[in-house]
Amino acid sequence: MKRETLIKESKEWVEERIISEEQREQLLERYPARQHKPLLLTFAAIFIGLGFLTFIASNWSAISDIFRMAIIIGSLLAFYVAGEKIYRKHSKRLGESLMLIALMIFGAGIFLTGQMYHFTSFSALPFFIWSIAAFSLYLLCKETLFFIAAAILTTVGQVYSGVTFGEFHIWTGLLFIVGLGWFTARGQRTDYSVWFGAGYLVQSLVFVLSSGYPYYWLINLILFLYLFDDAAAGKGQLRVLKTFSVISVFLILVFQVFFLGEGFVEVQTDSSFYFFIVWAVFFVGAVVRSAMSSTNYYWIDLLLFLPVFRFDFADGLSLGLLFVYSLLWLVSGYQQSVARWVNKGTAALLATTFIAYFQLAWDFMSRSLFFFIGGILLFALSFFLERKRRQVSKGEVTP
Amino acid sequence: MNRIWFYVIVCLQALFLILMSMSYYTMDTWGESIRLKTAPVDPRDPFYGDYVTLSYEVELVPSEKWNISADIGSREKVYLLLEPGENDLYTLVQASAEKPDVSGAEVVLPARFDWHDSQREVYTVDIGMDRYFIEEGTGQQYEQNREDLIVEVIVAPWGQKKINSVTTSE
């Protein structure tokens, strides 16, 4: 039943003494006003902002510097003031959209002013300042829109810093981790976790690639995200960050299968020494955490975080880990009849088999035979696993 | 939403942009004016649309004046120490990774490292003033003399710089 209808009808019920006012309120609480996503308005805001920008941009060279500044600052103030007024008095959604435009004008303003007056930037500082503005707006009104804006701006700024200057911008990184991380942990909301997790992974990649650390530092960074999930996910919610980190570390192992083959010699450096210290601390934390967890199976995830790259046959070991991981989830899924685990194990096993096959057979089979046999192999495997999976979903467990 | 803080944040943003633009205009008062000689430009055609492409002699650092370790990454910040020489033209004393101490008429110019030409033993840096916007139709005059133009640059104490004028040397 629609809330609007219920409000109208229930008023009559109270008047006719069918229910009391208190009962009416209780009933209405069961039908909360639906929260419309501000998607359309956000797009409207973005389009108007873009239209404004392109118009100014196409006439930009004809305008004098002072007048350009007046346009930028005038429109910045106009959109902020209008946004705040509308946010407070009329519509939160429209208000925050206007403030988002103002935030975009601020960012564009930094770059335009910089270009106009020949500023040379030596770091991602412009993005950092822009991100601070976005984050302050989030602090003030706690709207998801500005959380997302801050997450995107810090991440884009970090990528810009990595690509253009080959360095990790430490302040932007801190703002992201401390500022947005804090609210991800406090908010315990799925959407915050998604944005935070995606930004975290991208920034980790920039950090490792641009700071000259070996790629395997990613394992520590991802392990941290895995642990952080306990703080960030509320009870009974999707374990977004855990899923993100498991998928990422899975990909790292796949990377190792392909690239840690013959001739790869890992040089022992200071960095790898520190890596193991940090890793040990995180890993012990993760083991303790999984020992305390109510389900005794989460240690399976931790297998993926084992640093096997130290060994000579790291590619084989990585592949082995992937297989063990997949099979363990499959078997525990069947034993405990948890369909989710079986699905996870199935997907992982299919991927791993495919990778193993690719790695082992690519070199000494003709291409058509390779794909042909591979196809049949995957088909047979998926047929077998799918049958098993259905048994579990239906509850007929025959492990 | 706290309105006072909201307006504080909005004003800070506007102020930031205003300061960026103000700093440019106050450079004339606070900055130091130096004259730099241009160097031949690569690509060959320096005249493009409404600006000329400029390259400076001080942007080519011979290895004996390069006081920076070899593992410097591209686009990293370096400092050029300049001193006035003949005809009041500023020439390079040294390039360093740390900001050097200035004595007398010396001036520090921040730059970015571009690349190392190991054959010519030259480190190329970018002082970020490779475009000079000109009035339409005057490009010819710069193009003919493009290899020895004198560029007057104003350097502010806070590291900002701008091109004040471009003149042919004679």
Highest mean pLDDT among A51-60, A255-264, B86-95: B86-95
Work out how many domains chain A is built from and give that number: 1
State the Cα–Cα distance between residues B2 and B4, nearest whole angstrom.
6
Task: Give me the domain span that covers residue A93.
Answer: 38-53+66-120
Give A5 or A207, the one with higher predicted confidence: A207
- Give the pLDDT band (50/70/90) at residue A205: very high
- The number of angstroms, rounded, from the C-alpha of A28 to the middle of its chain's C-alpha atoms is 36
If DSSP codes are grouped into helix, strand and coil, which group holds residue A31? coil
State the Cα–Cα distance between residues A302 and A315, nearest whole angstrom.
18
Please indicate, yes or no, if residue A7 is contained in any of the structural domains.
no
Instruction: Check CB contact under 8 Å for A133 and B13.
Output: yes
Instruction: Determine the pLDDT at residue B59.
Output: 84
Please indicate, yes or no, if residue A112 is contained in any of the structural domains.
yes
Given a contact cutoff of 8 angstroms between Cβ atoms, the answer to whether A321 and A309 are in contact is no
Average pLDDT, chain A: 83
Residue A233 token pair: 């996910």
Nearest CA in chain A to B130: A118
Give A37 or B101, the one with higher predicted confidence: B101
HSE, CB side, 13 Å, CA atoms: give it for residue B15.
7
Collect all residues of chain A within an 8 Å Cβ-Cβ radius of residue B161. Answer: 118
**Closest partner residue to B75 among A109, A113, A164, by Cβ?**
A164
**Closest partner residue to B14 among A77, A129, A137, by Cβ?**
A77
| B97 has pLDDT over 90 | no
What ipTM does the predicted assembly reach? 0.71
A-B contacts (CB, under 8 Å):
79
User: Looking at residues A294-298, what average pLDDT do you find?
Assistant: 71
Q: pTM (2 decimals)?
A: 0.75
State the Cα–Cα distance between residues B40 and B27, nearest whole angstrom.
28
Shortest Cα distance, chain B CAs vs residue A362, angstroms:
38
Question: Shortest CA distance to A161 belongs to which of A120, A203, A101?
Answer: A203
Tens of pLDDT, residue by residue over B110-131, are: 888 888 877 878 888 888 777 7
**Closest partner residue to A73 among B17, B50, B161, by Cβ?**
B17
Collect all residues of chain B within an 8 Å Cβ-Cβ radius of residue A113. Answer: 17, 20-21
Question: Shortest CA distance to A248 belongs to which of A268, A220, A273, A269?
Answer: A220
Cβ-based neighbours of A200, under 8 Å, separated by 6 or more: A176, A177, A221, A225, A244
Instruction: Check CB contact under 8 Å for B112 and A77.
Output: no
Looking at chain B, the whole-number percentage of residues with pLDDT higher than 70 is 83
The B-side interface with A (CB below 8 A) comprises: 1-3, 5-7, 9-10, 13-14, 16-18, 20-21, 23-24, 50, 73-77, 110, 112, 127-129, 160-163
A73 Cβ under 8 Å from any chain B Cβ: yes
| A399 has pLDDT over 50 | no
Shortest Cα distance, chain B CAs vs residue A233, angstroms:
26
Tens of pLDDT, residue by residue over A135-155, are: 999 998 888 999 999 999 999
Portion 143-172 of A in contact with B at CB < 8 A: 164-167
Please indicate, yes or no, if residue A376 is contained in any of the structural domains.
no
Tens of pLDDT, residue by residue over A148-181, are: 999 999 999 999 988 888 888 999 999 999 999 9
Collect all residues of chain A within an 8 Å Cβ-Cβ radius of residue B16. Answer: 110, 129
Please indicate, yes or no, if residue A106 is contained in any of the structural domains.
yes
User: Got the DSSP string for A32-65?
Assistant: PPP---THHHHHHHHHHHHHHHHHHHHTGGGS-H
DSSP designation for A70: H
- The number of angstroms, rounded, from the C-alpha of A140 to the middle of its chain's C-alpha atoms is 24
- Whether residue B43 is preceded by a cis peptide bond, meaning omega within 30 degrees of 0, is yes
Map out the domains of chain B as residue ranges. Answer: 1-30, 32-168
Question: Shortest CA distance to A216 belongs to which of A193, A248, A170, A247?
Answer: A248
**Closest partner residue to B16 among A69, A77, A129, by Cβ?**
A129
Instruction: Check CB contact under 8 Å for A69 and B18.
Output: yes
**Closest partner residue to B10 among A77, A120, A164, by Cβ?**
A77
